[in-house]
Amino acid sequence: MRILSLVLIAMLSLASFGQSSFAATVKVVVNGQTITDHDISQRAGFIRLERRGKSNSDRLRLAREELIDEALIMGELKRLGGSISDRAVNDAYNRVAVRLKLSSSKLTEILNAAGVQSTTLKNKLRSQLAWQEIVRQVLRKKVQISDLELDLAAREEIGNTTHYDFMLTEIVFLNTTGNTRSRTNEANQYRRNFNGCDNAVDLALSYRDAAVRKMGRRHSTQLPDPVAQELAGLNVGGISKPRTIASGVQMLAVCAKTAAEDLTFVKNKLRNEVGSEKLKDEADEYLAKLREQATIENR
């Protein structure tokens, strides 16, 4: 979940908002737990800082719905016998500050300047921690993926394409001058003179700012598809065409190559993807059921 965007800092450097003081009025009752207009207004202010919502009325609507969900979540955690400590909430608050490169006191100061109390963010964090605990206690146990299911999915994903296990060496021409074309030309020259992994380092010594690194074993599924396809077409001792990356120009040399019958890499990738998707579906269904069974009174 997005907690706080970096745009918060830029927004608050432009304007400051005073906090208003008024008597809170109950607007929603969720299983006996009250949500006031002050709660809704505060959350709407926070949503504005996150740059969500198309209008003030839209943000108020989003705030109301979020607070209802959070009331349900906190009630459900209590029913399960769990709780979230103030220390855990404060630790989460401090992590938000660290990500924004602020102290926690400075984060509080910035929120207050925008008319949003720190408790608004802390309450949101508390509910997120509560939901994580519910997911851990209840939902993860329900998300079971059989090995047979993964085997079938892995074979379907691979299809008739042959996958390989590679032993790779990476050669990078570091772009220290900003001239990518010049570095690419040098990389192509290196590629023409390349005669195997054993001599990769010695050949690199002839060039300025050329780095050689043994990458070890890589399965086709661990590489971007275009890279895996290119390497599949190379013999042992071959080297890929230069590709521009963040640090410069990269080539990959194939030091060893065998057809991969093991589906472990594909299965692990699918387990994470399918598991995350199933867990999200279970979580959405669980929260919808909590809403369906709840007594929610709008005033």
- Tens of pLDDT along 226-279? 998 899 889 999 999 999 998 899 999 999 998 765 556 655 665 555 556 666
Domain with CATH 3.10.50.40 in the chain: 164-259
Q: Which candidate, 215, 214, 193, places its Cα nearest to that of 205? A: 193
Locate the DSSP E strands across 114-232.
164-174, 210-219
Rounded to the nearest 5°, which phi and psi values hold at 293? -90, -10
Tell me how far apart the alpha carbons of residues 52 and 66 are, in angstroms, rounded to a whole number: 13
Write down the mean pLDDT value for the chain: 83
pLDDT bracket for residue 136 (50, 70, 90)? confident
Nearest to 129 by CA among 83, 94, 98, 72: 83
Measured distance CA(11)–CA(120) in Å, rounded:
18
CATH 1.10.4030.10 range(s) for the chain read 7-143+287-298
Q: Which of 3-7, 8-12, 51-55, 273-277 has the highest mean pLDDT?
A: 51-55
User: Is 7-143+287-298 a CATH 1.10.4030.10 domain?
Assistant: yes
- The topology (CATH level 3) of 164-259 is Chitinase A; domain 3 (3.10.50)
What strands lie across the sheet with 296-298, from one edge to the other?
A: 33-36, 26-30, 296-298
Average pLDDT score over residue span 6-30:
59
How big is the CA angle at 253 (ends 250 and 257), to the nearest 5 degrees?
140
First to last CA, the chain: 29
What is the rounded CA–CA span in Å between residue 62 and residue 74? 18
Q: What does DSSP assign to residue 159?
A: T
- What is the length of the chain? 299
Q: How does residue 205 score in pLDDT terms, banded at 50, 70 and 90?
A: very high
Strands 248-259 and 296-298: unpaired
Cβ(214)–Cβ(169) under 8 Å? yes
pLDDT at position 154, please? Answer: 55
Of the two residues 284 and 3, the one the predictor is more confident about is: 284
**pLDDT at 16 (0 to 100):** 43
Q: SS3 for 280?
A: helix
How many other C-beta atoms are found inside a 10 Å radius of the C-beta of residue 266?
Answer: 23
Give the integer Cα–Cα distance in Å for 173 and 190: 10
Structure tokens at 167: 């032993």
Which secondary-structure segment (H or E) carries 244? Answer: strand 243-245
Structural tokens at position 239: 């080297």
Rounded distance between C-alpha atoms, residue 221 and residue 158, angstroms: 9
